[in-house]
Structure 1
Amino acid sequence: MKTMYTLQDLLSIVQASRQELLQGLKERGAFEYEGYYRLFDKDYLLELVDFLLTNLLIHGMDIQHMSLNQAKECIREGSQEERVDIPDDLLVAMLSLFCDVADNGEIQFDRRKICRFLGEWILFNPKNKRWEVPDFLKLWSTMGHELFKPELKDIEGLYIIRETTKFQRAIQYIQYFSIQELSTDPAQRFATLFSEKPLWKLEEIQMFLTDLAPTKKQLELLLLKFARSHRQQNTVLYGSRIK
Structure 2
Amino acid sequence: MSDIDVRFSPSTAQDAGSFRLIELPPELCQLIESTMNAPSHAQSTLCVKGSIAEDAVLCTADKTYALRSVQLSNTLLVTTPSRTDSGRAVNVRDQIHEVLELAPSVPKLHKLPMFLKGAQYDEGDEDRRVTLVKYTYDQALSEIQASEAEFQRGLKEKRILVLDGYLRPIVPTHLSTILELILSYMVTLSLSYQAAGVEELVSTLADEHEIPREVSGQIISWFGPVKEGLWEMDVKAVVAEIGLEILRHYKHEPIMESEFLSKWKNKIGDTFEAFLALELLTGNYLRSQDNSGGAALTYFPASGLQVDPAARFTELFLTKQRWKSNDIEPFLSDIAVNSKERDKLLLKYARAITTPEGTWYTSRVGYNN
> Which TM-score band applies after superposition, normalised by the shorter structure?
0.7 to 0.9
Q: Does 1:192 align with 2:315?
A: yes
| Greater Rg by CA | 2
| Displacement after TM superposition at 1:155 (Å) | 1.6
For residue 166 of structure 2, the aligned residue among 28, 36, 44 is 36
Scaled by the length of structure 1, the TM-score of the pair is 0.84
Distance 1:18 1:62, change over 3 A: closer
Question: Which residue identity lines up with residue 198 of structure 2 in the other structure?
Answer: L
Contact 1:161 1:172 in 2 (8 A): yes
Q: Does 1:58 align with 2:182?
A: no
Structure 1 residues 1-243: aligned runs within 5 Å: 3-76=133-206, 78-79=208-209, 85-103=210-228, 105-148=229-272, 149-166=275-292, 170-243=293-366
| Displacement after TM superposition at 1:7 (Å) | 2.1
Contact 2:203 2:213 in 1 (8 A): no
Residue in structure 1 matched with residue 26 of structure 2 by the alignment? none
How many residues align? The count is 234
In terms of fraction of residues, the more helix-rich structure is 1
Contact 1:51 1:78 in 2 (8 A): no
| Displacement after TM superposition at 1:16 (Å) | 4.0
| Displacement after TM superposition at 1:178 (Å) | 1.0
For structure 1, list consecutive stretches of 5 or more residues without a partner in the other structure.
Answer: 80-84
Distance 1:92 1:226, change over 3 A: same
| Displacement after TM superposition at 1:158 (Å) | 1.1
Residue in structure 1 matched with residue 14 of structure 2 by the alignment? none
Q: Higher mean Cα deviation, 46-55 or 203-212?
A: 46-55
| Displacement after TM superposition at 1:65 (Å) | 3.5
Contact 1:228 1:240 in 2 (8 A): yes
Scaled by the length of structure 2, the TM-score of the pair is 0.57
In terms of fraction of residues, the more strand-rich structure is 2
For structure 2, list consecutive stretches of 5 or more residues without a partner in the other structure.
Answer: 1-117, 119-131
Contact 2:284 2:301 in 1 (8 A): yes
| Displacement after TM superposition at 1:204 (Å) | 0.1
Question: Which residue identity lines up with residue 235 of structure 1 in the other structure?
Answer: G
Instruction: Find the aligned partners of 1:65 and 1:26 in 2 and give their Cα distance.
Output: 21
Distance 1:69 1:135, change over 3 A: same
After superposition, the CA RMSD in angstroms is: 2.4
Instruction: Find the aligned partners of 2:168 and 2:238 in 1 and give their Cα distance.
Output: 20
| Displacement after TM superposition at 1:13 (Å) | 3.2
